[in-house]
Amino acid sequence: MGHPELAEKFIANDERMHWHDKALWFVRAKRDNASKSVDEWEKLRKVASQIKAHTLDKLDYYLEEFEKNATAKGLHVHWAKDAKEHNEIVLRLLLNNGAKKLVKSKSMLTEECHLNPYLEEHGIEVVDTDLGERIVQLRKEPPSHIVLPAIHLKKEDVGTTFEEFLGTKKGNSDPTYLTRAARAHLREKFLGADAAMTGVNFGIAETGGVVVCTNEGNADLGASLPKLHIASMGIEKIIPRLKDLAVFTRLLARSATGQPITSYTSHFHAPIIDGQMHIIIVDNGRSAIIGSKDFKSSLQCIRCGACINTCPIYRRSGGYSYGYTIPGPIGSTLGASKDLRANKTLPFACSLCASCSNVCPVQINLHQQLYKHRQSVVAQKLLGFQKHTILKIATWVMKYPLLMDISGKLARAIVPKLPRSIVYSKVNLWGKKRELPPFPKNSFKELYKQRKGK
Amino acid sequence: MSSKKTILNSIKANKSQNPIELPETNIPHMHYEDKNEKFATMLASVGGNAIWLEDGDINAFVKEHYKDVTVITSTIENLTCKTKEANLAQTPHELEDVELAIIEGEFGVAENGAVWVKNPKNKYRALYFLAKQLLIVVKKDAIVDTMHEAYERVRFDKDGYGLFISGPSKTADIEQSLVIGAHGPTAACVLFV
Ligand code: SF4
C-alpha cells in the first residue's frame, strides 16, 4: 500500500487526526522559541551543514581515523556492509559472551536492520528501554516518529497497554503514574541485563569515541551496568573533531524538542571496568547515496525530527502512513533514494511548502529532493496509470494555446453547473478532501488583455 | 574482500573529487552579562536547581536539605555526610540503593544549564544514573557562556568517560506531558562552592 491509502486509514478518525496535528505543532512551536533564543542560529546551521558536507567528501579518511583512534583506546570496531551482516555481528558478540538478555536504547539504525525480530528468533530477550519505544514494543508496533516513538498514542492507550503488561491500575492513565511504573519495570530489566546496545549520535574521528544523547538516561544507564556494550553507527554519523560537538549539541535538542540540550550527553571513550565496548559501522546503502549530487546531503541528517514535526502531511497522516522506517520528509527522500519503486508514493507525500528545509539544522534541501524524486518516478514510469494519463492530457492541452483557451472556456461554462457527484467523482484524484475554488467568469488571459487596454 | 574494504571502496568511488573545506567552529556567539543568573534560569527550566553556597560547608548543606536520606555516596574526599563508599562496591549493581550521589562537576554552561562531569577517580559511571538524587558540586565562577567554550575545555586524549548533565532525567513520551525522573535521578541540584 502507498502513502495515500495508508493515510486514508489515519484520517478516517478526524478527531484523532486533528489531535495528532496539534501535538506535533506544539513541539514545532517549542523548537521555534528555542532557535530564536540563539542569536547565531543561522550561522550555526550553516557551519553544521559545512562540517557534515566536508565529512561526507572525505568519509573514507575519517572512518579510518575513527577506527584507528577507537582501537587505540581499547574499543573494538566492526564493519557491516548491510543489515544482515550487522545483525550477525550483534548476535555473534552476544553469543560469544553468553549474553541472553539485552537492553537497548533508541536506534533507528537497528529498526532499519530489523534487529529485534532477528535476535528474538535466536533466543535473545530484547528490551527497548526508551519509554516511548517500550510502549510501542509492548504493543507490537514500530515507532511512528524518530524522536517521539509513541506520539500517535493517547495516554489512555498507554494506560491500557500498561494495565495488560505491567499490571498498573485499571483506568489510571496519569502520565506520571505510568512513567513511574515503567521506571520500576525497566529498572529490573537494566539490573538483569547481560548486554546493552545503544545507537550513536556522533562518532568523533579525532578521538575515536562516540556520543549518545538522551533525556531519560536509558542509554547511559544501560551502557554502564552489563559488561558488554555494543553501539551501532551508520557511516554518516562521523564528525571530524571533538569541538564540532559544540555546533551539533547546540542545534540538536533545540531542533528536536525545544530543549537547550538533552539531559545527558554521554561521551564514551572506554568500556566500563572489566567490560568490552564494540562499535559496528554500518553502510546498508548509504555509500551509494554519496555518489548522487542531488541526494548526497540527505546523509547530513542528525535525526532531530524537526522536519517531521513541521510537515503538514506528516502531522495529518501519521508515521505509519509512510510505510518506511523513518517517516516524514527525511524518510521520504532516504526511502526514495534507497528503493524508488517500493517507495514511489513518498515523494508525493509533500506539499512542497519547504517548511522542512527551513527548520533543518543542517540545511538539507528536503523539499527540493522530493521534487527531484518525483521527476524520477515519472521518468521511470512508476506513476499510476490514471494520474499519468490525466497529466499527459493536461500537458498536451497546455502545449497548444488555442486548445487551452477553448478548454478553459468550456470548463468555466460547464463545471459550475455539474452536480458534485460528477465533479468530485473517482476520476478526479485531486478532489478528495479538497474543494475547487469558485470559477471566475474570465480567464487570466482575458483579464490581462482588458487591463492592458486601459 | 572484507566488508571494511567494500565500504571504503564504495565511498571512494562515490565521493566528490573536490571536497569542501572544514569550517571553523568557534563562530561569534552569545555572551551573558550575568552567567550565574543565566545558568540558574536555564537549569530551572529543565527541572534542576542551582545554589551558591556562601560558607562552602557541603556537609551542613546536605544535613539541612536531605534530611530523610540515608544512603549517601560521594566522589569528593573527606565528606562526613557520606554513608556509602561507591568505589568499594564489587559491581555497579550494588549502587542501586544510593539515594544521594554527591559528585564533582568541572564547570557549568550558562546557555543550557549543563555541567561537565568526568571523574577519573569514580569507578562506576552507573552511579550518575542509579542514584535517586544527584548533587553536583562545581567551583564558584566555573561557568562558561556556551558549548563553544565548553568544548575548549573537554579533552579525550586518553580513554575514559565523561558527560554533560543538564537537570534530572525526564521524559515526555506519554502525550507530551513532561515527567521528571525517567530512568535516572529524579532530582539534580548544582551546588557552587
Ligand atoms: S533532515 Fe534535518 S530536520 Fe529532518 S531529522 Fe534530519 S536533521 Fe532533523
- Of B36, B44, B190, nearest to B116 by C-alpha is B190
Are residues A156 and A200 part of one domain? yes
Residues A175 and A73 in one domain: yes
Q: Tell whether the torsion through CA atoms of B8, B10, B11 and B16 is positive or negative.
A: positive
Q: Is the pLDDT of residue A257 over 90?
A: yes
How many percent of chain A have pLDDT more than 70? 100
A181 and A154 assigned to the same domain = yes
Residue B161 C-beta-side C-alpha neighbours within 13 Å: 23
Local confidence band at A440 (pLDDT 50, 70, 90 cut-offs): confident
Residue A261 has its nearest CB partner, among B114, B169, B170, at: B114
pLDDT (average), residues A377-404: 89
Cα gap A406→A414, rounded to integer Å: 12
| Stretch A98-119: mean pLDDT | 96
- What does the pLDDT look like over A141-170, one tens digit per residue? 999 999 999 999 999 999 999 999 999 999
What CATH number does the domain containing A159 carry? 3.40.50.10420
- Which of the listed residues A202, A257, A322, A330 should we mutate to test ligand 1's pocket, taking the one with most ligand atoms within 8 A of CB? A330
If DSSP codes are grouped into helix, strand and coil, which group holds residue A281? strand
A205-219, A434-448, B52-66: range with lowest mean pLDDT: A434-448
The last residue of a domain, from among A328, A349, A383? A383
Answer whether residue A302 is part of any domain.
Answer: yes
Q: Are residues A131 and A239 in the same domain?
A: yes
Question: Are residues A145 and A229 located together in one domain of the fold?
Answer: yes
Structural domain boundaries, residue A423: 404-451
Tell me how many domains chain A contains.
3
State pLDDT tens for residues B13-33. Answer: 999 988 999 999 989 999 999
Confidence of residue A416 (pLDDT cuts 50, 70, 90): confident
Pair A174, A109 in one domain: yes
Q: Are A59 and A197 within one domain? A: yes
Q: Which of A43, A212, A241, A261 to mutate to test the interface with B (most CBs of B within 10 A)?
A: A261
Helical H segments across A240-384, by residue range: 244-256, 286-290, 306-310, 312-317, 328-338, 355-359, 366-379
> Which distant-in-sequence residues (6+ apart) come within 8 Å of A350 by Cβ?
A311, A313, A329, A332, A367, A370
Question: Is the pLDDT assigned to residue A364 strictly greater than 80?
Answer: yes
The A residues from 125 to 164 touching B (CB cutoff 8 Å) are 129-132, 135, 148-151, 153-155, 158
Residues A25 and A122 in one domain: no
| Residue finishing a domain among A256, A284, A312 | A284
Distances from the Cα of B187 to the Cαs of A61, A409, B177, in angstroms?
A: 43, 71, 17
pLDDT of residue A454: 63
The mean per-residue pLDDT over the stretch A52-80 comes to 98
Check whether residue A328 and residue A419 sit in a common domain. Answer: no
Asked if residue A97 and residue A203 are part of one domain, the reply reads yes
Task: Count Cβ atoms below 10 Å from residue B20 Cβ, excluding itself.
Answer: 15
Q: In the prediction, which pLDDT does A453 show?
A: 67
**In the predicted model, is pLDDT for residue A433 greater than 80?**
no
Q: Domain for residue A392, yes or no?
A: no
pLDDT mean across residues, chain B: 95
Whether A32 and A141 map to the same domain: the answer is no
Q: Is residue A390 part of a domain?
A: no
Q: Where are the domains of chain B?
A: 32-192
Entry pTM: 0.94
Best CA proximity match to A128, nearest among B168, A117, B125, A136: A136
What is the pLDDT at residue A435?
84
Q: What is the CATH number of the domain that holds A300?
A: 1.10.1060
Q: Which of A111, A117, A86, A118 is nearest to A283 (CA)?
A: A86
Strand locations in A180-290 (E): 195-198, 202-204, 209-214, 228-234, 238-239, 264-268, 276-282
Please determine, for residue A438, whether its predicted confidence score (pLDDT) is greater than 90.
no
CA dist., res. A46 & res. A393, Å (int): 43
pLDDT band at B1 (very low <50, low <70, confident <90, very high): confident
The distance of A182 to chain B (nearest Cα, Å) reads 8
Tell me the pairing of strands A228-234 and A195-198.
Answer: parallel
Q: What CATH fold (topology level) applies to the domain B32-192?
A: Rossmann fold (3.40.50)
Query: Do A265 and A212 share a structural domain?
Result: yes
